[in-house]
A and B are shown apart, each in its own frame.
Chain A
């Protein structure tokens, strides 16, 4: 079982349309210059938060960096999904405020900036956010109920970033991008259980290797 290469094999499939290939390929190389949406401080907090929310070491080889922080920061300045919770400010502002709230609470509770906390303390703070226990009642920060709402947006954004990444799709054996090429729209012939077609990827993620070997 080999690790996914830098360029996932699904990108070379003739079951992929040119447009879809371009979309997926664009996610392989992202600019890591300045944050586009968040302040440097908030960006660093997000960067320290993502590994405790969703570590990818059991899915991708250690050397693979899918630049989640960069992509989420950029996505916050791009087209959004057309709605937001009325009790949160606009997305970019909500994310900035939420991350700074987390930092302030870290300093209050532990005397350290969030990015300097050990992973288990970062995780405990995130758990408290998701339970609606952490928030601040002043301008530019979010209340506990707002933080809880935002944590749903955070989780959703992370999942969008992950599940739309061709390296993750390859590693998890997901064929959802392979609906058909430009000239021949193949679709799927087999749609029932245990009927992977030859062009569909097999999972390579370490955590799925045991399950996959039973095929």
Chain B
């Protein structure tokens, strides 16, 4: 927020119109929209304010961008947190996200109607599309002139250059007769003046998107929505860990208690918005015993099936260079030979070395000189990965563990197990991507079984008995409590979640303005 004017501040005794917990994709657009419409807004962010110029491509140090309050991961597919799902700091997970920004497929809103499995959203793409287009236009998204799966679509910025992995995936698609394109990437490819922020520079192809963008090219909330919110009078409070939600005798929310620099503070509010993500949002509700008449808080935790397939090439690939995941194919959104419902997106993958090495280390048991040689193959490696539908399942959920954290609050326990649909999709993708790499001469092909992102736990729907919030994100149980993040997604869909989270955030803001 380098060029923002002096930020307005509120007293803790002020009853702000909206108190928002979380400054990422869920909280920031809503904060900006409410502030722009004259509402008094305070945003509590647990993490610090990171200056963009201080980001480092060093992967170990860059973990400062991850949510570091410990989570316990269980189930038959215990999920890794941190990278690819859980951020901290002003900007939330969008500080470290990969900026891959496909739109949700229209069919994914109605998976249950289509297949009898999964859950429908309470509306379709036509309802969300105007918000999606507003988000894309405001934050800046690059993409191809012609998008093969949606000829009407336009992107404001041309794509960044294709790196080695992107070029190799194009060859692999051609070999198997699949369509491919430069994927939508939330980054700008020419310098601009971002309203309320200042200069954002064109992407320099540095490849360290996941470690934080140093020149403002990547479209986060820290260089778009948050400065806009501040310009319209919102206050951002970093370093504030919210833990207690206070209510009056009628059950309505009156304020939030949070800890800042070891001291407890209380902020009063007329309405509260939880935008803390699919683990921390239900954790807050569960620890406070709130908004759970449906019994659905924490239930139906979902991820994306995110199988990766890597190979080694004869050329010097240097997978750290360039935008990491440029090439996309949407041809697997409903593959004809599928033995699963839903579909998946395929993207090319470059990767930073420690992240790549972690994947290698955890997906094999090789050791000794063979392990050293495998790691030494970094510069010759290229990957492809998928993001695919993950069905809601009752055994996948967020609950409170018996262990307490440093604040004395139970650590969250996340149970995550693949069902038959996820395994079928994983195997389908593993076969296809392996064929693609074999077709273009890759060697030492390695399949990595992994899940990414976090979705669900506070389902949105029309029926108060089986949903936590209504179709605009308002709690069925407490009328001045709203949720604006991916925890309200009824189904996972295949697309990376950031775009839909931001679109829903604007839509929820609109609903709040009508109250």
Contact = CB atoms under 8 A, between A and B. Distances in A.
A77 interface: no
Contacts of B317: 193
A193 B74 contact: no
Interface stretch (B109-117, B204-212, B503-511): B204-212
Contacts of B336: none
A179 B369 contact: no
B318 A196 contact: yes
B78 A192 contact: no
Interface residues of B, number: 71
Contact of B368 (A17, A123, A180): A123
Nearest to A130: B365
Grouping DSSP codes into helix (H, G, I), strand (E, B) and loop, the B interface class, with mixed when no group exceeds half, is: loop
Nearest to B54: A19
A86 interface: yes
Contacts, number: 208
Interface string B50-73: 000110111111011011111111
A179 B214 contact: yes
A59 interface: yes
Q: Interface size class for chain A?
A: 35 or more
Contacts of A187: 203-206
B313 interface: yes
B320 interface: yes
A170 interface: no
Contact of B208 (A84, A86, A176): A176
A52 B360 contact: no
A80 B61 contact: no
A174 B320 contact: yes
A134 B66 CA distance: 33
B204 A180 contact: yes
A174 B168 CA distance: 20
A159 B316 contact: no
Interface stretch (A62-70, A107-115, A203-211): A203-211
A20 B56 contact: yes
A104 interface: no
Interface string A65-89: 0000000000100011111111100
Interface stretch (B3-11, B80-88, B119-127, B172-180): B80-88
B393 interface: no
B167 interface: yes
A163 B357 contact: yes
B470 to A, nearest CB: 32
Contacts of A85: 72-74, 78
A20 B313 CA distance: 29
Interface stretch (A28-36, A38-46, A150-158): A150-158
A169 B282 CA distance: 41
A52 B72 contact: no
A48 interface: no
- 9 nearest A-B pairs in the assembled complex, by CB-CB distance: A187-B204, A191-B322, A179-B206, A176-B320, A193-B315, A86-B74, A159-B357, A155-B361, A86-B72
30 contacts: A19-B54, A20-B56, A23-B58, A53-B367, A58-B376, A82-B70, A82-B86, A83-B72, A83-B81, A86-B413, A87-B74, A155-B361, A155-B362, A164-B60, A175-B318, A176-B208, A176-B353, A177-B58, A179-B208, A187-B204, A188-B322, A191-B164, A191-B205, A191-B321, A192-B161, A192-B164, A193-B316, A194-B316, A207-B373, A208-B376
Given A81-B68, A179-B214, 16 more contacts: A52-B368, A53-B371, A55-B369, A55-B372, A80-B70, A82-B69, A123-B368, A130-B365, A159-B360, A159-B361, A175-B318, A179-B206, A179-B208, A187-B205, A187-B206, A189-B205
